[in-house]
Amino acid sequence: MCSEIAEDPRRFFFFMGKGGTGKSTVSALAACFLAARGRRVLLLSLDPAHNQADIFDRPFSGRPQTVGERVRVAEVDQRHWINRFLHSVQDHVRRAYTYQSAFNLDHWLDVLHDSPGIEEYAMILAFQHYRQVEQDIDVMILDMPPTGLAMKFLRLPRLSLRWLTHLENLRQEILRKKEIVHRIRFGRRELETDRILGRLKQQGAFYDDLKTLFENPVATRIHLVFNPDQLSIRESGRICEGLKAIALDRCLHPVLNMASREEFRLPPELFPGRSVPRLSLSDCPLIGLSALHGYLGEQGGRMDFLL
């Protein structure tokens, strides 16, 4: 899978940051900018509170829609991915449990819709789906939800792998002991394959692939959008630390948005030794494709960092 990622020419640009810093607008600008330079772009909104419909001034759904030459936009319906996952679990449970009629599965699944961790998993499933289906694009731009959920999304592969490694080791130990028992009692090796171990390995491969992709600075760029104000800068500092803790700091690319004051100086300790691109505040609301292109016509040079 690692070599597959290395050979995959597609790029994945995540736009994240504090709520209200302009992630969605910068994502839309980035999509139009890259498309104008010949890239085939899919702009995917993973934020449950979608903004792309407001920015492009037209409704979107989970099915990518063309908004301009080489640009398509889709908004992920989180509920759809949660339902899809829970229904597959429901089917498996029904098939596997002999006494399943005792469960009221529908009621049980209703509760799971709101259980912790389901949101970011739905995002992961959606991301993997579009990654698998959209082979003919050059760049996938991901408009992320605000910091908390975005960090959970990026952390999920690593966190899951920690658990999976531990559970797999324990399962291997159980199977090793079971095999000894079997050999002593029946004088031969147990050849039956363990379905739980199989599922653990399958899950391990799934998350390992994602972790490898996220940690690959060539394939993945995490654009941290922030504004020239204290709150945004402080949260950006915390995001940097969070990304460092999960070894994603190599993929980090800060972008200062709405930088109306050219003289504004960034705290030197925030992104030491890095030049941070600045996008200036637009004079008019950036709504609709022509407004986006108008801004790019004036400020397009400032987005060269995407190339």
Partner 1 sequence: MKGERLRQKLRGWWRTADQVARAQATEKLEWEVREMENIFALLTLGAFTGLPSPPMQLTLELLPLMERELLLMLEKVDTASDPLAELFSTLNVL
Judged by the rule CB under 8 A, the positions of this chain that interact with partner 1 are 85-86, 89, 92-93, 95-98, 112, 115-118, 121, 156, 159-160, 163-164, 166-167, 170-171, 173-174, 177-178, 180-181, 184-185, 195-196, 199-200, 203
CB 22 within 8 A of CB 227: yes
Q: Which is nearer to partner 1, 85 or 305 (CB)?
A: 85
CB 31 within 8 A of CB 129: no
Amino acid sitting at position 192? E
Q: Which is nearer to partner 1, 198 or 285 (CB)?
A: 198
Question: How far, in Å, CA of 33 to CA of 4, rounded?
Answer: 28
Query: Minimum CB separation from partner 1 for residue 221, in Å?
Result: 25
CB 123 within 8 A of CB 210: no
Strand 71-75 to strand 65-68: parallel, antiparallel, or no bridges (unpaired)? antiparallel
Query: Minimum CB separation from partner 1 for residue 280, in Å?
Result: 41
Q: Which is nearer to partner 1, 158 or 293 (CB)?
A: 158
Query: Minimum CB separation from partner 1 for residue 62, in Å?
Result: 20
Strand 41-45 to strand 220-226: parallel, antiparallel, or no bridges (unpaired)? unpaired
Q: Which is nearer to partner 1, 73 or 123 (CB)?
A: 123
Where do runs of H (alpha helix) occur along 102-214?
A: 105-112, 118-133, 147-186, 195-214
Cα distances (angstroms) measured from residue 171 to each of 164, 168, 184: 10, 5, 20
Q: Which is nearer to partner 1, 98 or 290 (CB)?
A: 98
CB 60 within 8 A of CB 52: yes
Question: How far, in Å, CA of 232 to CA of 154, rounded?
Answer: 20
Query: Minimum CB separation from partner 1 for residue 166, in Å?
Result: 8
Query: Minimum CB separation from partner 1 for residue 81, in Å?
Result: 11
Q: Which is nearer to partner 1, 58 or 183 (CB)?
A: 183
Query: Minimum CB separation from partner 1 for residue 145, in Å?
Result: 17
Question: How far, in Å, CA of 273 to CA of 147, rounded?
Answer: 24
Q: Which is nearer to partner 1, 61 or 100 (CB)?
A: 100
∠ CA 123-61-80, nearest 5°, is: 45
Query: Minimum CB separation from partner 1 for residue 160, in Å?
Result: 5
Query: Minimum CB separation from partner 1 for residue 89, in Å?
Result: 5
Question: Alpha-carbon Rg of the chain, whole angstroms?
Answer: 23
Could you give phi then psi for residue 12, rounded to 5 degrees?
-120, 110
The torsion angle over the Cα atoms of residues 210, 10, 256 and 148, rounded to 10 degrees, is -20
Q: Which is nearer to partner 1, 6 or 180 (CB)?
A: 180
